[in-house]
Amino acid sequence: MFRLANSQSFRPFVGVVRPLTLRLVSTVSTIPKTQKAVIFYENGGELHYKDIPVPKPKPNELLINVKYSGVCHTDLHAWKGDWPLATKLPLVGGHEGAGVVVGMGESVRGWKIGDLAGIKWLNGSCMSCEYCEQSHESNCPEADLSGYTHDGSFQQYATADAVQAAKIPDGTNLAEVAPILCAGITVYKALKTSGVKSGEWVAISGAAGGLGSLAVQYAKAMGFRVLGIDGGEDKGQLVKSLGADHFVDYTKTNDVVDAILKATSGGPHGVINVSVSEKAIAQSVEYVRPTGTVVLVGLPANAVISSEIFSHVIKTINIKGSYVGNRADTREAIDFYTRGLVKSPIRVIGLSELPHAYELMEKGKVLGRIVVDTSK
């Protein structure tokens, strides 16, 4: 059953009835029947900005009034349908949604109307398989993915499993926290996965994009020395302004591998691959420091990584995949943001302009993250 009220209605009367009454009345009256969304009916097909019904939360779900949503490169992959995993169709994309809880199903616990909540890539999972049991919920065979198998945050009202939805502290800037909900969590987890220790070098390949611009800052906050790799002067400026110790422009460097080996005196101890380039990922296996770790995060379509076995063994390197993060990673990544240790380099546009964001992203022209305002 869909309910708008919450457990507060069972609290004993303590004489503060007015604010509670107003809150419920205003909540009920502000949920419309229809809303604006960007929806597509076939992969790569037209992106329609139109009115669609407001979804009803299932018993375990929150209904979140999404105010802002980051635009992740994954949304572009989902629209194009270029991964070997089918999307739901028709689909509302988006999985970096930040908003306000306006409704919830009857079995939801631990949330109240008016709380700030985040919609993550992992919308929900079974919570009982061996992966969920060990907090690897994103590896759950039944994982439900926002903006992929579950309509996501490119709409004004979206549903999210209450167990997985991210708790956002009161007073947080919702436009700025939005990119933390996928990009931030993902790179924070990938940096942990790299095993790099404070004082050691980490290379961020794709450092000026949505994930990369946050990875540079999380890495600095974690005490690492950071080498950023991306292409173009404006991207270099951004990466350095975020605190990177060194920048390699792959469009202007003849031998990228050699330049990185020299700048880090023998290679970075870890590499976070957040570019959407098979070539860049292949190079990371060559320049990673002996005993170091290459972390795969970016997902170029149909790409393969190969590693020459003799060097792999003699250098004793590791190649690891890293896929978003769990609930603890989410809490920690948001906490870094809330404490001011990472900032979101965002540009806000209207939800109706989403196709323009995809165009820029496709051309590699996005600096940091584009965030859509669902009211425009």
The single residue among 209, 236, 270, 345 that binds ligand 8ID, judged by CB under 6 A, is: 209
Cα Rg, the chain, nearest whole Å: 21
Q: How many residues bind Zn ion (CB under 5 A)?
A: 8
CB of 74 to Zn ion, least distance (A): 4
Which among ligand 8ID, Zn ion, none contacts residue 217 (Cβ within 5 to 8 A by kind)?
none
Which among ligand 8ID, Zn ion, none contacts residue 140 (Cβ within 5 to 8 A by kind)?
Zn ion
Which among ligand 8ID, Zn ion, none contacts residue 126 (Cβ within 5 to 8 A by kind)?
Zn ion
31 lines the binding site for Zn ion (CB under 5 A): no
For 321, list phi and psi in degrees, rounded to 5: -90, 150
129 lines the binding site for Zn ion (CB under 5 A): yes
> Contact region for ligand 8ID (CB under 6 A) — 124-132, 155-163, 202-210, 219-227?
202-210
Q: Which two tokens stand for residue 99?
A: 């908003």
66 lines the binding site for Zn ion (CB under 5 A): no
The single residue among 35, 146, 205, 374 that binds ligand 8ID, judged by CB under 6 A, is: 205
182 lines the binding site for Zn ion (CB under 5 A): yes
Q: How many residues bind ligand 8ID (CB under 6 A)?
A: 32
Within 10 A of 49 (CB to CB), how many other CB atoms are there? Answer: 15
Q: Which two tokens stand for residue 247?
A: 């920048």
Which among ligand 8ID, Zn ion, none contacts residue 132 (Cβ within 5 to 8 A by kind)?
Zn ion
Query: In Å, what is the CA distance from 284 to each residue of 29, 233, 281, 316, 318?
Result: 54, 22, 5, 14, 11
272 lines the binding site for ligand 8ID (CB under 6 A): no
118 lines the binding site for ligand 8ID (CB under 6 A): no
Q: ∠372-6-132 over CA atoms, to 5°?
A: 65
Beta pairing class for 144-145 and 122-124: antiparallel
Which among ligand 8ID, Zn ion, none contacts residue 125 (Cβ within 5 to 8 A by kind)?
Zn ion
- Contacts of 351-360 with C-beta under 8 Å, sequence gap 24+, read 351/36, 351/37, 351/38, 351/49, 351/69, 351/154, 351/375, 351/376, 352/36, 352/38, 352/49, 352/376, 354/38, 354/47, 354/49, 354/71, 354/154, 355/47, 357/71, 358/47, 358/71, 358/75, 358/76, 358/79
CB burial of residue 309 (10 Å; 0-12, 13-18, 19+) = exposed
CB of 260 to ligand 8ID, least distance (A): 11
Binding site for Zn ion (CB under 5 A): 72, 74, 125-126, 129, 132, 140, 182
Binding site for ligand 8ID (CB under 6 A): 72-74, 77, 182, 186, 205-206, 208-212, 229-231, 250, 274-277, 279-280, 297-299, 322-324, 361, 364, 366
